[in-house]
């Protein structure tokens, strides 16, 4: 390990460059835009379904009122007025809910106001006068005669017609919104994911999107593959988005692609408290105990390299050829994204966040990813001894 202490500065820089957190970015907004279309349509469809259910509630409420009134006229039994009154309250509640659900639809608002006026007319001009007649033994037969004449049927028919109009409009909207959603699915996304189905950033992105009701695996065509190959496919227009390594995404940004979201943007939604390191060095603890000097030199080298890359633009110019950056714009993107990803938090904070994210990964990836483990194993994070 003494070789690290003897590395020239360019090699030290490249060691840190290769080892810094592999932040993975979605590099195209197309996928999210289409997801938003699907979610927008889904939300509207859900609201329309709620409207249809509430229209049925209003219909049932009017039927309860009509049945209750007729039962009372036939029997003079006041228990029949219970569904009449309950139906009145239920209709009012349904009407208010419908007004709220359709507040963005002026035409439906107008139909609902007409419906409410008709319902009030039926109650005030038909139901209430007949109930009042039936309450008096001397006029009970007058009330029954009015009901048998079916004089109030015309108003109730208008109520039912207006309810049917509201229902028909919503069913038409439901079909149109379903077509929009289906079209979004049909033209939907091909997402290129670097790695495989249990890539940790892919799993974390899926978990975060599920909180918004979006199932990426079912809403998109997912293509797994090598990072560089998928980047090229994205450049050729064969992919709507790519979930890829930070340096590859930085190169795509330099070519005009727009970063949609970084892994650091979604981790707080999954329990992380800060910008979490996504890569680290793995070594045997027993080896570390036997080779403290080599480990100390290695840690010192990487710290120095990160500090230089974090503060010196001129050093980036010196290693430009080593980074593989094709032009100044790509080098600039590399520099900015690299600096964003340098871990700067205490090891305790990193370990706590890693534990929270491990639980998410265990739930998402299952045994294929973490075996039988349900929590991050103690000792996963190395505590640097004092003096290193």
Q: What is the rounded distance in angstroms from the CA atom of residue 58 to the CA atom of residue 53?
A: 9
Start-to-end CA distance of the chain, whole Å, equals 15
| pTM for this model (two decimals) | 0.54
CB neighbours of 203 closer than 8 A, spacing ≥ 6?
A: 360, 361, 364, 365, 369
Q: Is 61 within 8 Å of 94 (Cβ atoms)? A: yes
Q: What are the CB-based long-range contacts (under 8 Å, 24+) for 362-366? A: 363/207, 364/203, 364/204, 364/206, 364/207, 365/198, 365/200, 365/203
Give pLDDT, residue 10. Answer: 45
Q: What is the dihedral of CA 339, 343, 349, 353, to 10 degrees?
A: 80
Give pLDDT, residue 145. Answer: 83
Give the H/E segment covering residue 310.
helix 292-311
pLDDT tens track for 123-167: 998 989 988 988 888 888 887 887 777 767 888 899 999 999 999
Please tell me whether residue 194 adopts helix, strand or coil conformation. strand
Give pLDDT, residue 6. Answer: 46
Any idea how long the chain is? 388
Q: What is the rounded distance in angstroms from the CA atom of residue 301 to the CA atom of residue 4?
A: 7
Q: What is the rounded distance in angstroms from the CA atom of residue 57 to the CA atom of residue 169?
A: 17
Which structure tokens are listed for 330? 């790509």
Domains in the chain: ranges and CATH: 2-21+279-344 (no CATH), 25-33+188-270 (3.40.190.10), 39-184 (1.20.120)
Could you say which residues of the chain have pLDDT below 50?
Answer: 1-30
Q: What is the rounded distance in angstroms from the CA atom of residue 346 to the CA atom of residue 304?
A: 17
Please tell me whether residue 242 adopts helix, strand or coil conformation. strand
Q: Is 170 within 8 Å of 52 (Cβ atoms)? A: yes
Nearest CA to 225 out of 267, 190, 262 is that of: 190
Q: What is the rounded distance in angstroms from the CA atom of residue 153 to the CA atom of residue 231?
A: 70
Q: How far is CA 197 from the centre of its chain?
A: 20
Please tell me whether residue 25 adopts helix, strand or coil conformation. strand
Q: Are strands 261-262 and 221-225 parallel, antiparallel or unpaired?
A: unpaired
Place of tokens 């079909």: 175
Place of tokens 């706590």: 352
Which structure tokens are listed for 189? 């996304």
DSSP assigned state of 228: H
* Residue 148 burial (10 A CB sphere; 0-12, 13-18, 19+): exposed
């Amino acid at each position: 390990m003494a070789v690290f202490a003897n590395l020239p500065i360019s090699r030290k820089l490249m060691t840190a460059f290769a080892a810094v957190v592999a932040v993975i970015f979605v590099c195209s907004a197309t996928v999210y835009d289409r997801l938003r279309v699907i979610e927008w349509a889904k939300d509207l469809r859900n609201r329309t379904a709620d409207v249809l259910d509430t229209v049925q509630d209003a219909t049932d409420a009017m039927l309860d009122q009509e049945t209750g009134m007729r039962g009372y006229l036939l029997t003079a039994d006041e228990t029949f007025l219970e569904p009449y009154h309950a139906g009145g309250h239920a209709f009012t509640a349904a009407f208010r809910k419908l007004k709220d659900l359709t507040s963005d639809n002026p035409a439906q608002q107008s139909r609902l106001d007409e419906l409410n006026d008709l319902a009030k007319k039926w109650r005030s001009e038909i139901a209430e006068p007949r109930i009042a007649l039936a309450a008096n033994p001397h006029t009970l037969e007058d009330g029954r005669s009015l009901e048998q004449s079916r004089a109030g049927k015309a108003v109730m028919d208008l109520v039912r017609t207006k309810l049917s109009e509201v229902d028909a409009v919503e069913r038409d909207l439901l079909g149109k919104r379903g077509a929009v959603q289906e079209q979004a699915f049909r033209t939907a996304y091909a997402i290129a994911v670097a790695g495989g189905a249990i890539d940790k950033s892919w799993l974390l992105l899926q978990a975060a999107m599920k909180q918004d009701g979006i199932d990426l695996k079912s809403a998109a065509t997912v293509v797994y593959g090598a990072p560089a190959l998928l980047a090229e496919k994205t450049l050729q227009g064969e992919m709507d988005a790519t979930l890829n390594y930070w340096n590859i995404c930085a190169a795509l940004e330099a070519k005009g692609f727009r970063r949609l979201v970084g892994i650091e943007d979604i981790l707080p939604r999954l329990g992380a408290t800060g910008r979490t390191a996504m890569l680290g060095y793995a070594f045997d603890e027993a080896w570390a105990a036997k080779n403290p000097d080599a480990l100390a030199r290695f840690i010192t080298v990487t710290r120095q390299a990160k500090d230089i890359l974090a503060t010196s633009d001129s050093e980036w110019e010196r290693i430009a050829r080593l980074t593989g950056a094709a032009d100044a714009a790509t080098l600039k993107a590399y520099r900015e994204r690299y600096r964003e990803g340098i871990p700067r938090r205490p090891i305790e904070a990193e370990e706590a966040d890693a534990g929270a994210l491990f639980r998410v990964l265990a739930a998402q990836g299952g045994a294929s990813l973490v075996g039988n483990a349900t929590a991050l194993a103690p000792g996963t994070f190395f505590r640097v001894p004092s003096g290193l």
